[in-house]
Amino acid sequence: MKITPFYRALNSTALRMLLCTIAASSACRAHAQWVPFDSLPGAQRVSAIESPGGSAGRVSDVRWDIPGGRVWFQYAGKWKSVALSGDATVTVPEGTEPPAAAARPQTYRAPKGGRAKQATRVPSPDGAWNAVFQDCNVLLEPEGEPANRAAIHATDNGTNKHWFGSADWVYGEELDQNSAMWWSPDSKLIAYYDFDESPVKEYVLLGGLTTTRTRALSAGYPKPGDQNPIAKLEIYNLATGKRTPIDVGSDPEQYVYGVEWTPKCDALLWFRCNRRQDTLQLMATDPVTGASRTLITEKQSTWQKNSPALQFLADGSRFLWESESNGFSNWELWDLNKGKLLRLTDDPWVSESIVNIDEASGWMYYSARSSKTGINSQLHRVQLDGSRRERLTTEDLHYSSFLVAPDNAHFVATKQFVDVPPSASLYTMDGKEVAQLTKPAADPYGKKGMPKPEFLRVTAADGKTELYGILYKPKDFDPSRSYPLVVDAYGGPLIATVSPRFGSYEAQTELGVLIAKVDNRGTPGRGKAFEDATYMKLGGADVDDQAQLVKELSKRPYVDSKRVAIMGHSYGGYMALMAVLRYPQTFQVAVAGAPPTDWRQYDTIYTERAMRTPQENAEGYDAGSAVKLATTLKGRVLLLHGMVDDNVHPSNTFAIAQVWQASNIPFEMMLFPNADHGIGSPAYESAKWSFILRNFGMWSQAPLGAPAAGAEPAAAAAAPDAGNAAKPMKPE
DSSP per-residue codes, 440-464: PPS-HHHHTT-PPPEEEEEE-TTSS
pLDDT of residue 93: 82
For the chain, domains (ranges, CATH) are 44-52+453-718 (3.40.50.1820), 117-301 (2.140.10.30)
Q: Within 10 A of 570 (CB to CB), how many other CB atoms are there? A: 20
Any catalytic annotation for residue 645?
yes
Cis preceding linkage at 287, omega within 30: no
Find the catalytic residue in 39, 398, 645, 649: 645
The H-or-E segment that residue 270 falls in is strand 268-273
Burial of 276 (0-12, 13-18, 19+ CB in 10 A): middle
DSSP per-residue codes, 229-253: PEEEEEEEETTT--EEE----S-TT
d(CA 77, CA 99): 17
d(CA 451, CA 454): 9
Give the closest residue to 683 by CA, choosing from 49, 28, 32, 209: 32
Cα angle 89, 90, 93 (rounded to 5 degrees) comes to 150
pLDDT of residue 12: 42
pLDDT of residue 264: 98
d(CA 509, CA 486): 9
Any catalytic annotation for residue 677?
yes
| 323 and 332 Cβ atoms separated by less than 8 Å | yes
pLDDT of residue 427: 97
Find the catalytic residue in 166, 561, 677, 690: 677
DSSP per-residue codes, 638-671: EEEEETT-SSS-THHHHHHHHHHHHTT---EEEE
| 691 and 505 Cβ atoms separated by less than 8 Å | no
pLDDT of residue 196: 99
Any catalytic annotation for residue 251?
no
pLDDT of residue 463: 98
Helices marked H in 336-470: 444-447
| 534 and 540 Cβ atoms separated by less than 8 Å | yes
Ranges of the chain with pLDDT below 70: 1-31, 707-732
pLDDT of residue 707: 63
Find the catalytic residue in 184, 371, 561, 570: 570
CA atoms within 13 A on the CB side of 642: 18
pTM as predicted: 0.91
pLDDT of residue 718: 35
| 377 and 398 Cβ atoms separated by less than 8 Å | yes
pLDDT of residue 11: 46
- Cα–Cα distances (Å) from 213 to 67, 69, 89, 644, in that order, read 74, 73, 69, 15
